[in-house]
């Protein structure tokens, strides 16, 4: 039996779909059963509850825990830590109590390790990591929680994850679909990974014991120009890349931060995200996952981008439609 947290989120939904196809039993912790029903979850797999106070019995019979829940952005730093550190701590206490022999797969982020041009620090233990954002620091705090447990765990640190059900990278696809993209400052390189490959890494990690920090990335990393050129091909549009001066990006981030606080909602591009952008490149090293899990991301960027764009277009989530997508129906 698997236990999946954050099951109605981006990664969690894709993982549960894969478990269903494989015929593997799982239990999904959700805060919103109605959202889960809209996503097609069977009622019998759902357990309604809050990660900060998980219901008793959640871990009964569980052999694998896939901890996908977490916050990417929040109005306050405290909210990020409450979810990403506090939620992990509460879950670990429950698993130690109810399923002490379970294998724990924790979905973290390269943001926890810190920026890198070559992936040098992407698999480093927490004491050697240098996050530059509140989000990255809160994810690293969640990783540190595991060090104080008796559990067998593997931490996965994906690069930029994209694919069906994602809302964040969809913004980049939307810019490409309009034929004009904006990037801040000089060109930087980024490691990305298709969500289907991240799910396969979770499955591989579930079969391993021990304690490891493993980047999950596809190769090669892409610089800003190459990324938008590839996204443009995926959506069937030639995309013009405009460079926004660093000062302009900083002012945009501050404006987003102020507007978000007025609305009581975290901005998609605020000061925390600007901290990550100005820090430089975010590249992960795929070698540790090869060595420990025998895992290698198998989806080329072009293929993953096409599949993702098709999914968006079919649901009316992108403007217009490229040559390859024309004639599809939203649904």
Compute the mean pLDDT over every residue in the chain, rounded to the nearest whole number.
89
3-state secondary structure labels for all residues of 104-135: EEEECCHHHHCCECCCCCCCCCHHHCCCCCHH
Task: Note the Cα 286 to chain centre separation in Å.
Answer: 17
Instruction: Provide CB contacts within 8 A for 263, sequence distance 6+.
Output: none
Indicate the Cα dihedral angle 219, 220, 223, 229, nearest 10°. -90
Mean pLDDT of the 80-91 span: 96
pLDDT surpasses 70 at 122: yes
Question: Does domain 2-161+194-216+283-298 bear CATH number 3.40.630.30?
Answer: no
Label residue 325 by pLDDT band (50, 70, 90). Answer: very low
Of 236 and 73, more confident:
236
The pLDDT of residue 98 is 96
Beta pairing partners, 105: 66, 154
Structure confidence by residue, pLDDT tens digits, 15-54: 999 999 999 999 999 999 999 999 889 999 999 999 999 9
CB-based contact 176:235 (threshold 8 Å): yes
Token look-up 């396969």 returns 200
Q: Domain limits of the chain?
A: 2-161+194-216+283-298
Structure confidence by residue, pLDDT tens digits, 149-208: 999 999 999 999 999 999 889 999 999 999 988 877 778 999 999 999 999 999 999 998
The pLDDT of residue 280 is 83
């Amino acid at each position: 039996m698997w236990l999946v947290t954050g099951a109605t989120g981006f990664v969690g939904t894709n993982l549960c779909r894969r478990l269903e196809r494989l015929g593997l039993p799982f239990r999904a912790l959700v805060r919103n059963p109605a959202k889960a029903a809209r996503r097609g979850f069977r009622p019998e797999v759902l357990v309604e509850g809050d990660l900060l106070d998980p219901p008793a019995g959640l871990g009964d019979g569980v052999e694998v825990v896939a901890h996908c829940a977490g916050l990417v952005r929040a109005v306050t730093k405290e909210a990020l830590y409450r979810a990403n550190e506090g939620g992990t701590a509460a879950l670990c206490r429950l698993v130690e109590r109810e399923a002490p022999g379970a294998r724990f797969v924790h979905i973290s982020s390269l943001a926890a390790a810190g920026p890198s041009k070559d992936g040098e620090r992407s698999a480093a233990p927490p004491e050697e990591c240098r996050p530059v954002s509140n989000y990255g620091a809160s994810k690293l705090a969640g990783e540190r929680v595991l060090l104080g447990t008796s559990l067998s765990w593997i931490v996965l640190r994906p690069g930029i994850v994209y694919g069906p059900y994602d809302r964040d990278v969809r913004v980049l696809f939307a810019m490409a679909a309009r034929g004009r993209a904006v990037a801040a400052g000089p060109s930087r390189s980024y490691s990305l990974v298709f969500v289907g490959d991240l799910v396969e890494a979770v499955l591989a990690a579930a079969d391993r014991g021990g304690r490891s920090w493993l980047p999950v990335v596809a190769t090669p990393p892409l610089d800003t120009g190459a990324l938008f050129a590839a996204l443009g091909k995926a959506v069937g549009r030639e995309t013009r890349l405009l460079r926004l001066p660093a000062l302009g990006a900083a002012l945009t981030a501050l404006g987003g931060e102020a507007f978000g606080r007025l609305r009581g909602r975290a901005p998609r591009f605020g000061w925390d995200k600007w901290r990550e952008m100005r820090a430089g490149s975010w590249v992960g090293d795929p070698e540790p996952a090869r060595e420990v899990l025998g895992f290698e991301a198998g989806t080329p960027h072009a293929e993953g981008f096409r599949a993702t764009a098709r999914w968006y277009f079919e649901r009316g989530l992108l403007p217009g439609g490229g040559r390859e997508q024309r004639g599809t129906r939203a649904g």
